[in-house]
């Protein structure tokens, strides 16, 4: 499963599939990549970045932690 698909699954689990779909159809979003849309979506409502920071961290498979995060965790 792609990274974007995993992020979209977390968004769906948070009950925000509809708002993401509406956001993605806006004219300003049509030219952006899916990754850019997902990043921007998470900053469109107060508290959403904090909500998704936790949700995405909880959804990580410990056996497949992204390399930058793995390096950070190795230092603490």
CB of 31 closer than 8 Å to CB of 40 = no
Mean per-residue pLDDT, 48-54:
96
Q: Phi and psi dihedrals of 38, rounded to 5?
A: -65, -45
Mean per-residue pLDDT, 17-35:
96
State yes or no: pLDDT of 69 exceeds 90.
Answer: no
Domain that holds residue 65: 3-75
State yes or no: pLDDT of 6 exceeds 90.
Answer: yes
pLDDT score at 73: 86
* Domain count for the chain: 1
Q: Which two tokens stand for residue 13?
A: 């689990």
State yes or no: pLDDT of 32 exceeds 90.
Answer: yes
CB of 10 closer than 8 Å to CB of 51 = no
Mean per-residue pLDDT, 13-33:
96
pLDDT score at 5: 94
Q: Give the separation between CA 38 and CA 36, rounded to whole angstroms.
A: 5
């Amino acid at each position: 499963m792609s990274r974007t698909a995993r992020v979209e699954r977390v968004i769906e689990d948070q009950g925000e599939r509809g708002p993401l779909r509406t956001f993605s159809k806006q004219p300003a979003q049509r030219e952006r990549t899916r990754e850019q849309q997902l990043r921007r979506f998470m900053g469109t409502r107060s508290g959403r970045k904090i909500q998704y920071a936790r949700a995405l961290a909880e959804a990580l498979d410990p056996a497949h932690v992204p390399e930058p995060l793995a390096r950070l965790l190795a230092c603490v």
